[in-house]
Amino acid sequence: MRRLVLMCLLILLWACQPEKATEQNSERSDVDRVRTKAESVNDFQIVAGLRVGPVRHSTSEAELLRLLGPDVVTVGDSIYGAEGDVLIGTTLYKDTADQLQILYQDSAQRQHPELVLIRPYVTDADGNSLSNGKPTRWSTANGVHIGMSLKELEQCNGKPFRLWGFGWDYGGSVANWQGGRFDMGTQTMLSVTLAPPSTLSPAQTRALATVSGDGEFMSTNPSMQLLGPVVQIMQVTLKP
């Protein structure tokens, strides 16, 4: 009798396993379908003034939610700005290397995106680098992307440029493209913020001290070149 009961239990356990595996495969397929749908409508291309992927000035949060789905779109999210400002907007790909934040002209209805911030989530709350180390997929047509070096950015601009010193709210932001390719006159459509490497040599530590504070420095400054900052944040202004 005991042997018969054990055999029945084994049969029941065996019968349950395929169903569980099927459920897991189904869940994975659903996630893959969501990702495929989102990526089919998002080329991760930045066209300053015009669009950032599917985000245009004519887009609304509701439209993005329909287009990309709730796994990609975080609605009514808190977005932290300079000087302690907290604004409400939309985040795409939250807490990933592709994280993107949107601020609207109509903030109440969250429509007509005005500013798009590309701020990849690459460190934890303590500032430690995340282990996956995936690069962001956002990029301009001429290759400007998060992680780009100061020298590479100079080459893309076609000229040296001026940037603010490090160590304050606007530290590392490009102040003037100096007539280069990204110079669009009084209204800047592409703003870039650079940051020093997380680990500095003694020489770089000394260099950082000479290019910190709320003054402007040329990208060709010897201390800036020695420091070798990289692009950390990109901000795109969208025109109506």
> What digits encode the pLDDT tens for the residues 123-143?
555 555 554 567 899 999 889
**pLDDT value, residue 41:** 79
Provide the mean pLDDT of the chain: 84
What's the one-letter identity of residue 175? Answer: A
**pLDDT value, residue 36:** 53
Q: Give the Å distances, CA to CA, from 188 to 89, 96, 182, 217.
A: 21, 27, 8, 19
- Which residue ranges make up each domain of the chain? 143-231
The H-or-E segment that residue 42 falls in is: none
**pLDDT value, residue 134:** 74
Percent of the chain with pLDDT over 70: 79
- What span, in angstroms and rounded, lies between the C-alpha atoms of 79 and 26? 34
Q: Between 52 and 22, whose confidence is greater?
A: 52
Q: Between 92 and 36, whose confidence is greater?
A: 92
Q: Of 221, 126, 144, 210, nearest to 182 (Cα)?
A: 144
Question: Cβ–Cβ contacts within 10 Å for residue 207, how many?
Answer: 21
**pLDDT value, residue 184:** 79
The pTM of this model reads 0.78
Write the pLDDT tens digit of every residue in 184-239: 777 788 999 999 998 999 999 999 999 999 999 999 999 999 999 999 999 999 99
